[in-house]
Structure 1
Amino acid sequence: MNQQSQEFNEQRILSHGNQNETIEETVERVKQRIIQTGDKPHVTVARQLELLNELADFPLGQFLLQNRGLNGYWIDYMMEHQYRVGGINAQDCTLKELEKFILERNPPVLATQQRYINFGKIIQNYVQENIVFASLPCGIMRDLLKLDFTGVENFRLVGIDIDPASLELAKKLAVEYGLSQKVEFHQEDAWNLPFEDEFTLLNSHGLNVYEPDDKKVSELYQQFFKALVPGGILVTSFTTKSPDIDPNYEWNMSQINSEDLLLSKIIFFDILDVKFTAFRSSSTTKLQLQTVGFDEIEFIWDNARMFPTVTARKPK
C-alpha cells in the first residue's frame, strides 16, 4: 500500500486510527484534560483519575484510551466474551475488575452483545444454496464465518472493510473455520462501493454510530441498497437516544441498572470521550431507509432498547 492510500484509509476509518503517542503520553494528556475540566455534578476529578489509571492497566482499556473507538479485533473480543467463562478473557487470564465491568455489566455493551445474537439468528435464517452474504465493515468477520452451512454447498461470503489490519485477521479466521475457499475480501470505503445488484444479504454494524450527519448516513444506506440484489435483505443496527438527550427516548429503563449506567457514562464519555456518539430514533432510521427505497422494515429490540437491529428489503 502506498503512502497516499494509507493516509486515505486512516482519514476514512471512523472508529480508530494509528496513534503516534505512547500509552503513558495518552494517559497524561487525558489526565490534564480531566483536571482542567474540574469536578462535575456526577463525578469528581479524583474518581475520574482513579478510573483512568485502571483503564490504562489492561489492553482493551489502553486501546480505547488511544483510539476512542474499537477496531475489528476488539469488537469481536467484546461480542464473543458472553460465550466465555465469567471473569476470564480471550487469553484465559483473569479479568481486571474494570474490564469485567465493561464486558459483563456495562449496559451499552450488554445491549450490543444482545444485538450480536440477534444478527446471528436473523442471518442464519437466510442460509441456503447460492446465497451471497456480505459483511460491511466486516471486522474479523466472525458474524458470517460462524454460521451453520451444513448441507449448503454453493455460497459466497464477502468481507468488506477499509481497515487492512481487520481484513488480514478475517482471512486468518476464515482458514480456522475451514471456509477460505468460500470467502473473498475487498478493501473499500463504504460510501463508495463498486458493487451493484451483488448480495443476497448485507449486514452492517458499527458505521452509522460514528457518523452524526443524517445525510451521510442516508448516503450510506443508498450504497447498501445499490449493492443488494432485488429482493435482497439489509441487516443493520443503530443506537437510540438516552433520556439525557431526548425526552421522547426509547430506552427501557426498567431493564437498565442506573448505577452501572452512570459508571458507563463516566468511563466512555467523561474519560474516553468516545467517537461513537451518533444516536438516532427508530422513526428517523425507518424514514432514512424508506427514502432510499427499502421496504418491509422491521425492528428487533434488545431488552434495554438501546441497540436495536433493523432489517429491510430491496424491492424486487
Structure 2
Amino acid sequence: MKNANGPVAQATRHDQLISHGAGSPDNYGDLLQSIQSIKSRLRLAGDLPGATVDQQIRLVDKLSAFELGRFLIENRGLNAYWTHQLVTYRPGTVSAGSISDLEYRIFEKLPVVLATRERFGIFRQQLQALLRSGLALASVPCGLMDELLLLDYELHPDVTLTGIDLDQLALNDASDLAQERGLAGRLSLRLEDAWTPNLKATIDVLTSNGLNIYEPDNGRVTALYRAFFDMLKPGGSLVTSFLTPPPTLSAESPWKLTEIDQESLSLQHLLFVRVIEVKWSAFRTHAQTLAQLEDAGFADIRFIDDRARMFPTVIAQKPF
C-alpha cells in the first residue's frame, strides 16, 4: 500500500480506531503471538459440529499464509486498503489454483464479502444519480473514498469532495487515489472523529459505510447519525448502510437464504466468528435503523437491499 504526502493533517489517532488496530502484518513477532493466542483459545473451546479443533487450527495456518489473512488475524477487522481491495475486486479476475483455496473463497464466495461488494455498487449507483453541479459531497469515515472518487464527474466539474477519517494511512491512500483520478484539486481531507466533525450544515450529500457495524452501542450509533444530520445542509442526503442479523441470532433476521450458498456461509461463520472473532458484529434490523435515523432527525428514509438482504443501503433526507 502506497503512502503519499497529501492535503492531510500529520497527527495519527490509531488508539481511537474501532475497526482495526495499528499493528502491521509485517511485525513477525506480533503475528506469531496472535496466531498462538488464537490456537490456544480454539483448543480450550474444543470441537464444533463439522469442525474439529485440528481442522480449526489448520484454518489458522491457512489464514497466516496470505497477506489479507495475516491482517485479519492481527486486527480482527478491515482497514481502508483491504476494504478497497474486496469491494473493487472483479469476480473471476483470479482463477482457482492461482492463489490459495482459502484466499480464493474469501474473495469469490463468502456471502458477507459478496454482499459488501454489491452494497458498494449500490452506493455508487445512488451517488451518481444524486450528482448535481455545485454540490458538496463528503464521506465519513472516508477510507480510500472510492465510493466518491470512482464516480464520473465529467458533467459536474465544480463538485467538491471532503473525506474525514481517524486513520492517517486511509487519508494518505485517499489522496493517492484522488491524484490518480485527477480529482486532487477538489478534494479536502480531514483527520477527525466521525462523532465530532468540524463541519456544520455545509454538505449536500454525505456517504458513510462500515463504522456502525463496529459499534455495538445503539445510543452511540444514533449519536453518529445526529452528527451526520448536523453536517448536512437542509434538504441534504445521507447514503449509509448497516449489517442485518443472521437467523441464528434474531427471529427478525431478513436474510434471504435462497440467495446464500450454505457451504460458504458455514465457512464464513467458522472463519469470522469462531477463529478470528471479527469486530464487525453490531447487527441491526431495518426497523432499528429506521428508528435511529428518525430519532436523529432524518425523514423520507428508504432502503435498498442487496440480494441476500445482509448489507442494506439506506438513503435518508434532512428536511428543509
The correspondence of residues 1-316 of structure 1 with structure 2, limited to 5 A, is 6=12, 9-19=13-23, 21-82=29-90, 85-87=93-95, 94-316=98-320
- Cα root mean square deviation, aligned: 1.8
What displacement does 1:84 show?
6.4
**Structure 1 runs not aligned, ≥5 long:** none
Structure 1 residue 25: Cα displacement: 2.0
Query: Identity of aligned pairs, percent?
Result: 39
Q: What whole-Å deviation, never above 9, does each CA across 1:200-220 have from its counterpart, x for those lacking one? A: 100000100000010000000
Q: Distance in 1 between matches of 2:165 and 2:94?
A: 31
Q: What is the TM-score with the length of structure 2 in the denominator? A: 0.93
Pairwise CA distance, 1:22: 2.6
> For 2:91 and 2:107, how far apart are their aligned partners in 1?
11
Query: SS in structure 2 opposite 1:246?
Result: coil
The amino acid of 1:172's aligned partner reads D
Q: Give the paired residue count.
A: 309
Q: Is the 8 A contact 2:213 2:283 kept in 1?
A: yes
Note if contact 1:82-1:113 (Cα within 8 Å) is conserved in structure 2. Answer: no
> How far apart are the structure 1 equivalents of 2:90 and 2:50?
30
Distance 1:175 1:254 in 2: 42
Structure 1 residues 13-22 or 153-162, which shifts more? 13-22
Cα pair distance change 1:186/1:83, threshold 3 Å: farther
- Secondary structure at the aligned position of 1:125 is classed as helix
Quick one: distance in 2 between partners of 1:301 and 1:152?
A: 28
Partner of 2:4: none
Q: Give secondary structure in 1 for the equivalent of 2:200.
A: coil
Q: Please give the alpha-carbon distance, in whole angstroms, between the structure 2 residues aligned to 1:87 and 1:161.
A: 34
Given the superposition, is the C-alpha separation of residues 83 and 263 from structure 1 closer, same or farther in structure 2, using an over 3 Å criterion? closer
